Amino acid sequence: MAVSLRVNTMPADKKKIVLNWKGNFRFTATTQKDLSILFDAPVEYGGEDTAPSPTETVLASLAACTGYDVVSILKKKRQNITSFSVETEAERNNEPPKVFTKIHIKYIVKGTNVNKEAVERAIQLSYEKYCSVGAMLKKTAEVTTSYELRQD
């Protein structure tokens, strides 16, 4: 396996987000490219459950970040993936700040003649090198991974 494998990762330039309060605990975030992300608090915490909470969104971002890496690497390795999903489960501190303490990431890869070692290597490269969200969350949480490979 070439260590020099080049992977498209997200841009290194500065990021800016503007978040506007929409009443109660609803917020709309807007990126520099004018794309939106909606937030709300759960009903049990005074919100209305109209959108995910900030911590759910962070966990989703982890799944998307590592999902991007794995799809990107498997494409470069010319693997024929027909379906791909990532399940992330997390436990949090009971006391504030309620940081994630344990995260499990499960990858479900489906395709035709997909190479098991390619999948394992893609997951490992994301975990060890590329996934920026993972690298941040690993500072507070024990992150573990697993995968299922289903051939079409």
Alpha-carbon gap, residue 93 to 1, rounded angstroms: 39
The answer to whether 149 contacts its own copies (rule: CB under 8 A) is no
Q: Closest approach of Cβ 50 to its own copies, in Å?
A: 8
The answer to whether 20 contacts its own copies (rule: CB under 8 A) is yes
Integer Rg of the chain from CA? 17
| Window 52-81: residues binding its own copies (CB under 8 A) | 52-65, 67-68, 71-72, 81
- Residues in binding contact with its own copies, number by CB under 8 A: 79
Q: Closest approach of Cβ 120 to its own copies, in Å?
A: 18
Q: Which one of residues 31, 112, 124, 146 is an interface residue with its own copies (CB under 8 A)?
A: 31
Q: Which one of residues 2, 3, 35, 117 is an interface residue with its own copies (CB under 8 A)?
A: 35
Cis amide bond preceding 97, omega within 30: yes
Contact 137, 130 (CB under 8 A): no
Closest CA to 143 of 104, 90, 108, 99: 104
DSSP string, 77-122: TT-EEEEEEEEEEEEE-SSSS--EEEEEEEEEEEEES--HHHHHHH
Contact 118, 75 (CB under 8 A): no
Q: Closest approach of Cβ 49 to its own copies, in Å?
A: 6
| Window 81-120: residues binding its own copies (CB under 8 A) | 81, 83-94, 96-100
Interface stretch with its own copies, choices 33-41, 116-124, 142-150 (CB under 8 A): 33-41
Q: Closest approach of Cβ 145 to its own copies, in Å?
A: 14
